[in-house]
Structure 1
Amino acid sequence: MEIKPISIEQQEQLSKIATSQDWTPCQVTLSSGVTLDNVYLANHDEYLRSWGRINKEMLVPIEEVISIEESPNALPVSLSKKLYDAGESGMGYCVFKIVYDTGATFDVVTGNAVDFVPSPEGLTIRNIVDVLPHEGSRQAYLNGLDYKWCLFKGL
């Protein structure tokens, strides 16, 4: 599998999206017209340092990406940073509580990539005011959202 370089235009689009890690949670539009809301863009070498191996089924080729924007499902950077700084809750997973401006809370369980979270009906990521690492139920929870990876050379 050959990883292609990121284009200058893609670099410019990616630079407008804040991230707390070496991978950036994004929404991408592909040359086929399909829009994917939950995609991490990452430099191939950085990805390998953090994750160790590539799952080919989870890859989106960089050469198919025509547009890179903020994801409608990614936590605000300050909150994702709080979760990443707290580290995993157990071997290979994170448990946390999302606190909304309405007072509602939801427990979420994800793998070690924590940025993409579900929102209950009527609420969005813009309503999230806090996350509480390692708090929440391991029996009654929402799963983090499924995502893809888009790896590139360069940058």
Structure 2
Amino acid sequence: METRPISKSQQQQLADITPSKDSVLKYYPCQVELKDGTVLDNVYIVDYDSYISGYGIAPADDQLVFIEDVMVIHDSPNRLPAKLANKLYNAGESGMGYCVFRLLYDTGDTLDVLTGNAVDFVPSPEDLSVHHIVDVLPHEGSRQDYAEGLSYSWCLYKGIEK
């Protein structure tokens, strides 16, 4: 897998996104617009070396978005607020390779969610969004009746374009 440097323009756009952190890995949960006009709501933009340090192997090709194809970077509309994602990352896995947690909304509603190790992209019940989430309860919730975390892609870069 060949990775390219992030451009200065992309780096400036990424600076507007608050990352979530899991150990040495900084996750930037983004919405990206590609050169062909495609908009992807759930993309992690991550430094390649940090990703390899955290996961040990590169993601599958069908999970990749190439940094050179990205024109515009925004905060994802489906991301947990960084402080809540960090709370989940600090709590660690619920089991081998997965996390279960409960989302608490300002309306009093709750939603149990099951994800892999990356926890930032979460579904929302109808009429609610991530902006209504006020807290997360790590390792809480049903392991039988849950919503799955949203699917996402990885966009890895190596270094900064000169």
Tell me the TM-score normalised to structure 2 length. 0.94
Structure 1 runs, 4 residues or longer, greater than 4 Å off: none
How far does the alpha carbon of each residue in 1:23-70 deviate from its partner, in whole angstroms, 9 at most, with x for none? 211000000100000000011100000111121110000000000000
Tell me how far apart the structure 1 counterparts of residues 27 and 124 of structure 2 sit (CA, whole Å): 22
In the alignment, is the contact (CA less than 8 A) between 1:95 and 1:135 conserved in 2?
A: yes
Tell me how far apart the structure 2 counterparts of residues 84 and 23 of structure 1 sit (CA, whole Å): 11
Tell me how far apart the structure 2 counterparts of residues 3 and 121 of structure 1 sit (CA, whole Å): 38
TM-align CA RMSD: 0.7
Tell me how far apart the structure 1 counterparts of residues 27 and 157 of structure 2 sit (CA, whole Å): 11
Q: Cα distance, 1:139 vs. partner?
A: 0.4
Q: Could you say which residue in structure 1 is the equivalent of 2:111?
A: 106
How many pairs were matched up?
155
Q: AA paired with 1:135?
A: E
Q: AA paired with 1:91?
A: M
In the alignment, is the contact (CA less than 8 A) between 1:75 and 1:115 conserved in 2?
A: yes
Flag structure 1 segments of 5+ consecutive residues without an equivalent.
none
Q: Which of 44, 48, 51 is the equivalent residue of 2:52?
A: 48
In the alignment, is the contact (CA less than 8 A) between 1:23 and 1:47 conserved in 2?
A: no
Flag structure 2 segments of 5+ consecutive residues without an equivalent.
none
Q: Which of 112, 117, 126 is the equivalent residue of 2:122?
A: 117
Tell me how far apart the structure 1 counterparts of residues 87 and 149 of structure 2 sit (CA, whole Å): 16
Q: Percent identity over the alignment?
A: 59
The aligned runs of 1:1-150 (5 Å cut-off) are 1-21=1-21, 22-54=26-58, 55-150=60-155
Q: Cα distance, 1:19 vs. partner?
A: 1.1
